[in-house]
Amino acid sequence: MGRTTLLLFFLTVANLFASRLSAQQVIRDGISIRDYGTQEGLLNRDVTGLVFDKRGVGWLLNSTGLHLFDGKRFYEAAPLLGADSGLLTKPGNVLHYVSKEDALYVLTHWKGNLEVTRVPLADIFSGNTSAPARILFSAPGIIYGRPVFTDSSMLAIQGGRLLLLRFRNGRIVTVARSAWSGQHHVFAAPHAGVLVTGDPQHILYRADTTRPGFPLSRMDTLTDPQYNLLMIDSGRVRTAAGAYERPLVADRTIRLDKSVFEAIKDIHLTVSGMTRDAAGNYYFYGSLGVRRCVRFGNLFRTISLPYETRAITYRPDTDQGILATAEGMHRFHLNGVLAAARIDSASRNHYWAAAGVKDGRQLFFPLDTERPAVVFDASGSRFGYYPIDRRMQVFCAHGPLQDGSYLLGTNQGLMRARLTRNGIETQALDINLRSSINAICPTGDGRYLLATVDGLYLVHPDSPAAQLLLAGDVLCIESYPQGWMVGFRHRGARILNRQLQPVRSLTYSGGLPGNTVYSIVFDKVNELFFVGTSDGLVAYDPLAGILRNYTVADGLADNELNRGSTLQLAGDSLIIFGTIKGISAMDVRLPFNIRRTRTGPFVWGFEYQAQGKGAVFSLSRNEALYGQPLPHNTNWMRLKIVDLDFENHPYSVAYRLDEGEWHYQPADRELTIWRPEAGTHQIELRFLYARNGASEITRYHFEVKQVWYLTTPALVGLLVLVLSLSYLIAWLRIRVLKIKALAQINRNRQLLFSIIAHDLRSPLKSYQDLAETINYLMQKQDLQTLQEVSRQINDNGRKLDLVLNNLLNWSLLEQKGLTPHFEDVDVRAIVDGLLPLYATAAERKSIPIESMIDVPALLPADANLISLILRNLLDNAVKNSPAGCPVAVAVSFTDGQLQLLVRNAIRVENLAAITEVIGQLQRGEGDVGRGIGLNFIRQATRILNGTLRFRLIAGDTQLEARVLIPAKPENGI
């Protein structure tokens, strides 16, 4: 019993250690290996399917159903998708993703039936929950081996017979079965058709699925007892246990190099399938879970030298290469020991350009005018020297052409050269261009693009014209099917279309590691450019942009590449890059060197928590993180991000809200934003890498609700309420003002009537009394007294005339009809005409009238208003002055103003009333309530833009009235 307990203890410890080890990453022969297990959420390791959708999200199928994978861990998919859990938790056999439908096809066995379920990811990620997972097909029987999928069909062995299902628009439109039975496995290869095998004969058949019953034709006998197919490579059918040689073409299959296969040989018997993610990483899955393989370490075969390289030639069939350097010619080999040996120590610093010669020989042209051209044979041995014009320096060469000649770019322009027994004959082409030429590139129509120190030129060998296309120091040119790429010194690169028009720029600010481009080569295998700069090598996709930067950390000989020192072998996948410290060779067919997709972070899931509620999770809705606004009291929101670029694993995720400041956090943590503010927001995300800069920026949107009283309807309602109250208050104010104005009008009317009655009663009563007096005196014939009465009649007429004039002008004022009329008038004459009118009244009270007039002969003024002002002032002065006290009248003109002054003595009993009137005038009250005359004086003075002042002088015994009127008022009232 003790031994059994001890054994169980050690087994438990070993399992825990193995589980801990599964989450760690190990390096084996340059391959990073990581096994996923329980720590990453993979509770059941019996995996039957793993695919990646176009977003980069992984989907895994095992005996517990469908799971989601974001590069870090696995999640159960049923609660995330919101679909019927019964469809997504059944034991699964096969998983397939159709890109054009953006849908998963899940094959499960349930109660003895084969079921095909479709999961529409496009609808689910767009928030359409009305289209859940749906069973498309169900039939009795289980399948053998692994089915074969295309974008529109599925082939599987069910019950020993071949089953064909065709899909269209998310539905199965064709179900067909073979007439034969007994087969166990099905594979397919492009151009090879559908292949099936069966036990125990191990015979490989081709099935014709275009004919009814799918008739078979025998191909060969398999000697490999394992039929668990991983892939079909060029000329090889690879199974989990080994390889079966067969001339099959595999245009669309995944390539698996030997080193990766070696990395899984410890688990290959358990592997049931493999796949690749968007970043190019391999995943192997089976009964022991999931293993990820990523190539690490050097990507180049490098030969280091202490000096820079020039021209390069290489023959892969003999593994012989010749390298021209700044210190002479070297022979090198890329297989076996990577090294270079100097051929001729005497020939140093001479050869920059090279061109091919028949029979595998290579011709090197000298830069130094003292040296001849040299030819090396296929074995790398020197074949012979050929003299050349010593006045010429050769920077580049193109050829041989159809006639056997070469085009040379020299310091004297474009030259045509021919190789003869006596040396190299050169002929200057009749082209109006004498700039030093760095590179030559044909356009395909007999013309050539020339990279010169003065710019990019288009020339024809038979025409003297040279058309300047781009200015600047151009170092290199490379063509590709859509146009050309041109490299500059200090200006990056330009891409030209087939019409030789610039369509795009590639500079340091756009991700280029250096602004000087020394070399460009177009890789026809991967359809992308390799751009050699002053600070590294760049893989550039014309459609997707910069994919990756290569530096010495990737095995490059040096970060600074050399001008014209790049070689791409025709019909081969090898590219040799020359640097200032040696050469580096890359096989562009290796699966880990190029990342076809370099996208930014993708948010696949979104979670938030509001006050008083639990956390809520949802799949992201494409560019919208959540399908509806978040509550206003959201405490936090958390973003789940896909990270598949394991080779350049990001060390940080950078994010910012609404174009604010960038914030950073470790990439292995979920991004959490605390207490987001109300409103619509945009969040921008990007990965930061230790060596290769930053990823592209991805953008998402989300909205947080406002507090109800800050929402738009509430604010609109509040605005309507405020406007309504403002309108009501304004209406009430206007009504009150109208009522007050009406009351004031009534009071003014009553006052006017009382004033008129008072001012008219006195002269009219005098006329009535004088009429009786005249009648009496006429009977007595008292002519002397009658003459005195006539003067009284004249005085009463004057008073009555003044009252009526004041009434008339006041009515005009009230109707806005009285306006000043200025003209040149004699003010002295006006005053002299007014004084006699008051002589009788003044003599009766023994009041002398003293006048002092000091004005120009003619003065611009309104004669009518000035006359009325003076008459009213004199009338009040004579009427209110005590007997025997003089009245003074003064008229003067100073500082552009006409001054009217009337001064008279007052009675002691009238002092209080006069003081009250003066106070009302100083306070600007509208009505002094003292007769028409005084009110008219105020209104008339205002019309003339003048001022009216009353004051008590001489110890409050005299009243002085002063009117100041501008000679030329700015405006009237």
Taking phi over 0 as left and psi of -120 to 50 as alpha, with beta for the rest, 798 belongs to alpha
Nearest C-alpha neighbor of 119 from the set 137, 108, 130, 104: 104
Question: What band does 762 get if pLDDT is binned at 50, 70 and 90?
Answer: low
Percent of the chain with pLDDT over 90: 9
Residue 485 has what pLDDT? Answer: 95
Residue 768 has what pLDDT? Answer: 63
Token pair belonging to 484? 């050309």
Question: What band does 692 get if pLDDT is binned at 50, 70 and 90?
Answer: low
Token pair belonging to 796? 């009463």
CA distances from 106 to 41, 95, 133 (A): 20, 5, 10
Judge contact between 942 and 862, C-beta under 8 A. no
Residue 441 has what pLDDT? Answer: 92
Report d(CA 433, CA 455) in Å as an integer.
11
Res. 917: pLDDT tops 50 = yes
The residues with which 630 forms a beta bridge, in sequence order, are 704
Report d(CA 466, CA 651) in Å as an integer.
52
Token pair belonging to 434? 């004498």
Highest mean pLDDT among 252-266, 336-350, 591-605, 798-812: 798-812
Question: What band does 223 get if pLDDT is binned at 50, 70 and 90?
Answer: very low
Task: Give the pairing of strands 823-825 and 47-52.
Answer: unpaired
Find the radius of gyration of the CA atoms of the chain: 55
Question: What band does 500 get if pLDDT is binned at 50, 70 and 90?
Answer: very high
The residues with which 165 forms a beta bridge, in sequence order, are 154, 175
CA distances from 605 to 69, 81, 95, 684, 851 (A): 11, 10, 21, 16, 104
Question: What band does 297 get if pLDDT is binned at 50, 70 and 90?
Answer: low
Residue 591 has what pLDDT? Answer: 44
CA distances from 354 to 241, 313, 400, 594 (A): 48, 8, 11, 29
Token pair belonging to 439? 């590179």
pLDDT digits (tens, 9 = 90+) for 128-159: 666 677 888 888 888 877 787 877 888 888 88
DSSP per position, 142-185? -EEEEEEE-SSEEEEEETTEEEEEEEETTEEEEEEE-S-----E
DSSP per position, 234-256? TTEEEESS-EEE-----TTSPP-
φ, ψ of residue 455 in degrees (nearest 5): 150, -175
For the segment 320-339, the average pLDDT, to the nearest whole number, is 77
The residues with which 752 forms a beta bridge, in sequence order, are none
Residue 498 has what pLDDT? Answer: 92
Judge contact between 584 and 552, C-beta under 8 A. no
For the segment 603-610, the average pLDDT, to the nearest whole number, is 86
Report d(CA 253, CA 965) in Å as an integer.
108
CA distances from 732 to 718, 725, 744 (A): 21, 10, 18
CA distances from 198 to 160, 181, 220, 578, 697 (A): 9, 9, 12, 53, 51
For the segment 656-660, the average pLDDT, to the nearest whole number, is 89
Token pair belonging to 196? 């099936």
φ, ψ of residue 595 in degrees (nearest 5): -100, 110
φ, ψ of residue 593 in degrees (nearest 5): -75, -30
Token pair belonging to 130? 């009305």
Residue 742, SS3? helix
Report d(CA 78, CA 619) in Å as an integer.
12
Lowest mean pLDDT across 149-153, 450-454, 959-963: 149-153
pLDDT, greater one: 834 or 637: 637
Task: Give the pairing of strands 887-894 and 849-854.
Answer: parallel
Token pair belonging to 150? 């295309």
Token pair belonging to 901? 């002054």
Question: What band does 913 get if pLDDT is binned at 50, 70 and 90?
Answer: confident
Question: What band does 273 get if pLDDT is binned at 50, 70 and 90?
Answer: confident
Taking phi over 0 as left and psi of -120 to 50 as alpha, with beta for the rest, 797 belongs to alpha
Nearest C-alpha neighbor of 469 from the set 503, 436, 445, 446: 503
Res. 447: pLDDT tops 90 = yes
In this structure, what DSSP letter does residue 621 have? B
Report d(CA 628, CA 350) in Å as an integer.
71
Cis peptide before 400 (omega within 30 of 0): yes
Longest C-alpha distance within the chain, in Å?
Answer: 176
Lowest mean pLDDT across 64-68, 104-108, 248-252, 735-739: 248-252
Token pair belonging to 27? 């390096």
Lowest mean pLDDT across 5-9, 435-439, 871-875, 908-912: 5-9
Report d(CA 224, CA 226) in Å as an integer.
5
Token pair belonging to 496? 């030209």
Judge contact between 255 and 591, C-beta under 8 A. yes
- Which residues are CB-contacts of 337 (< 8 A; sequence separation ≥ 6)? none
Residue 328 has what pLDDT? Answer: 76
Res. 586: pLDDT tops 70 = yes
DSSP per position, 661-703? --EEEETTS-EEEESPPSEEEEEEEEEE-SSS-B---EEEEEE
Task: Give the pairing of strands 339-344 and 328-333.
Answer: antiparallel
Report d(CA 572, CA 78) in Å as an integer.
48
Res. 487: pLDDT tops 90 = yes
Res. 635: pLDDT tops 80 = yes
The burial of 177, by beta-carbon neighbours within 10 Å (0-12 exposed, 13-18 middle, 19 or more buried), is given as middle
Lowest mean pLDDT across 47-56, 193-202, 790-799, 924-933: 924-933
Q: What is the pTM of this model?
A: 0.51
Q: How many CB atoms lie within 10 A of CB 390?
A: 12
Residue 955, SS3? coil
CA distances from 641 to 282, 644, 666, 859 (A): 20, 10, 12, 93
Residue 251 is which amino acid? D
Alpha-carbon torsion angle 376, 382, 388, 391, nearest 10: 100
In this structure, what DSSP letter does residue 611 have? T
Q: How many CB atoms lie within 10 A of CB 830?
A: 19
CA distances from 894 to 854, 897, 945, 963 (A): 10, 5, 16, 13
Res. 555: pLDDT tops 50 = yes
Res. 889: pLDDT tops 70 = yes
Q: How many CB atoms lie within 10 A of CB 671?
A: 19
Report d(CA 196, CA 144) in Å as an integer.
11
Residue 21 has what pLDDT? Answer: 38
Mean per-residue pLDDT of the chain: 77
Lowest mean pLDDT across 116-125, 424-433, 619-628, 802-811: 802-811
Token pair belonging to 442? 């044909």
Residue 40 has what pLDDT? Answer: 87
Judge contact between 62 and 48, C-beta under 8 A. yes
Judge contact between 435 and 413, C-beta under 8 A. yes
Q: Provide the sign of the torsion angle of the four alpha carbons 228, 232, 233, 237, taken in this order.
A: positive
Report d(CA 623, CA 702) in Å as an integer.
9
Res. 469: pLDDT tops 90 = yes
Token pair belonging to 176? 């067909």
pLDDT digits (tens, 9 = 90+) for 282-291: 888 888 889 8
- Which residues are CB-contacts of 758 (< 8 A; sequence separation ≥ 6)? 931
Residue 261 has what pLDDT? Answer: 64
The residues with which 952 forms a beta bridge, in sequence order, are 959
pLDDT digits (tens, 9 = 90+) for 707-743: 777 677 878 888 898 999 999 999 998 988 888 878 8
pLDDT digits (tens, 9 = 90+) for 822-872: 788 888 888 887 787 777 778 878 888 888 888 886 778 887 788 878 888
Report d(CA 125, CA 145) in Å as an integer.
32
For the segment 63-88, the average pLDDT, to the nearest whole number, is 79
3-state helix, strand, coil in the chain (%, to 5): 25, 40, 35
The residues with which 437 forms a beta bridge, in sequence order, are 452
Lowest mean pLDDT across 28-37, 238-247, 564-573, 588-597: 238-247
